[in-house]
Amino acid sequence: MKLLETLTQTPSVPGREARIRAVIEAYVTKHKLVDELRTDAMGSLIGIRKPRPKGKAKNPPLKVMLAAHMDQIGFLVSYISAEGFVRVNPVGGFDTRNLFARRVRVCTASGDLPAVMNPAGRPIHIASADEKSKVPEITDFFLDLGLSGDEVKEKVKIGDMVVLDGPFSEVGNYVVSQCLDNRVGCWAVIRTLEMLKHHNCEIHAAWTVQEEVGLRGAIPASFSIEPDIGISCDTTLCCKTPGVPDEQRVTVPGDGVCLKVMDSSTIADIGLLEDLEAVAAKKGIKCQRGVLPRGGQDGAAIQRSRGGVRTAVFACPVKYIHTITEMSHKTDLESYPALLSAYLETL
């Protein structure tokens, strides 16, 4: 949990993944989880774990790519007014209804600055009925750093990253935090490498960049890795909550990691999915199938790279996804690296 907490509390939005990459790089290096480690031109971190066979090595080994995107949804500074109010451009999909009265962190070259985020307009006491019912556009929001225009302009640059600020905590049987999407996937890949004992396959663990703006980092990463099998490691919706019809729940919390059947970017290889389910059944690891009508993940980029790659999609169920109160059930977290490592040991 400590590692997952550190990952969720390290800001990194699309195109600004240096901080989270440094955390992951330091961890996998310290614990000797990979044999080779490189950062590609776009910033994805790629570690190679050579086969560690029990007996004689298979020749040549199957090449398996694990892809977990490192970026979280956030903003880049787009404008600073004379009074020091900062406007931002979103990188990733926000529901503006979740952006009222938020504490945010403005990450500058000289350090992080706290700020608050609100939509432009009048508070409830003096707002018109019309204003009260309007859902603001993302461009209506601004940041207040509590500093003068000159002070803000001295410290903040156009292009600096901004993230929502929220703590990591445990609530009942769940963990709650911002950016469980997709620090859970990053964590699961690390835990998998830690749990693996003997395996014949060659594992290429890619912590990718810029997924939230269209799977951009996974495209060159899969092109260079040229895998035989791809496994996207991400999160997915869990809407088993009031106000959502049960047929739209996507996943059930506590039923184990979701093996995605399809979303709007990928139809998973059904043979791989069945192999994974067979391993889960044999080892007594919980997992569930899920279909997401809209949404994508890095698997789409892997599947369509070069001549095509057989691809499966792991996704941890997350309630209230893309808010700062994302919730994941501990059973689903545990089953994720348990199943992934058990499966890799069979290849």
Residue closer to Zn ion, measured from CB, 143 or 318? 318
Minimum distance, C-beta of residue 265 to Zn ion, in the bound complex (Å): 11
Return the residue of 160, 165, 234, 298 that touches Zn ion, per CB under 5 A.
234
Gap between the Cα atoms of 68 and 184, Å rounded: 9
Name the residue with the smallest CB distance to Zn ion. Answer: 182
| Contact mark string toward Zn ion, 111..150, x via CB under 5 A | ----------------------------------------
Gap between the Cα atoms of 51 and 194, Å rounded: 14
Residue closer to Zn ion, measured from CB, 181 or 345? 181
Minimum distance, C-beta of residue 92 to Zn ion, in the bound complex (Å): 9
Stretch that binds Zn ion, among 103-111, 188-196, 230-238, 314-322 (CB under 5 A): 230-238
Nearest to 184 by CA among 69, 320, 275, 324: 69
Stretch that binds Zn ion, among 22-30, 104-112, 178-186, 194-202 (CB under 5 A): 178-186
Stretch that binds Zn ion, among 182-190, 197-205, 298-306, 329-337 (CB under 5 A): 182-190
Token digits for 48?
């190679």
**Which residues are the active-site residues?**
211
Buried b (16+ CB within 10 A) or exposed e, 302-317: bbbbeeebbbbbbbbb
The verdict on 160 binding Zn ion (CB under 5 A) reads no
Gap between the Cα atoms of 75 and 144, Å rounded: 15
Minimum distance, C-beta of residue 90 to Zn ion, in the bound complex (Å): 15
The verdict on 328 binding Zn ion (CB under 5 A) reads no
Residue closer to Zn ion, measured from CB, 199 or 207? 207
Distances (CA, A) of 15 to 73, 85, 234, 245: 11, 23, 18, 37
* Sheet of strand 174-177: strand arrangement: 169-171, 174-177, 326-329
Return the residue of 177, 182, 323, 335 that touches Zn ion, per CB under 5 A.
182
User: Residue 344: which residues within 8 A CB-CB, separation 6 or more?
Assistant: 64, 192, 196, 199, 201, 203
Return the residue of 17, 165, 181, 326 that touches Zn ion, per CB under 5 A.
181
Q: How many residues touch Zn ion (CB under 5 A)?
A: 3
The verdict on 165 binding Zn ion (CB under 5 A) reads no
Residue closer to Zn ion, measured from CB, 182 or 265? 182
Dihedral-angle region of residue 104 (phi above 0 means left; psi in -120 to 50 means alpha; beta otherwise): beta
Residue closer to Zn ion, measured from CB, 229 or 316? 316
Minimum distance, C-beta of residue 234 to Zn ion, in the bound complex (Å): 4
Minimum distance, C-beta of residue 114 to Zn ion, in the bound complex (Å): 26
Three-state DSSP at 334 gives helix
DSSP-assigned beta bridge partners for residue 46: 38, 206
Minimum distance, C-beta of residue 69 to Zn ion, in the bound complex (Å): 6
Alpha-carbon dihedral angle through residues 313, 314, 316, 318, given to the nearest 10 degrees: 0
Nearest to 337 by CA among 193, 208, 175, 229: 193
- The CA-CA-CA angle for residues 206, 294, 332, to 5°, reads 55
Residue closer to Zn ion, measured from CB, 265 or 305? 265
Three-state DSSP at 343 gives helix
| Contact mark string toward Zn ion, 187..226, x via CB under 5 A | ----------------------------------------
Looking only at residues 18 through 37 of this chain, which bind Zn ion when binding is defined by CB under 5 A?
Answer: none
Q: Are 256 and 285 in contact (CB under 8 A)?
A: yes
Instruction: List residues near Zn ion by CB under 5 A.
Output: 181-182, 234
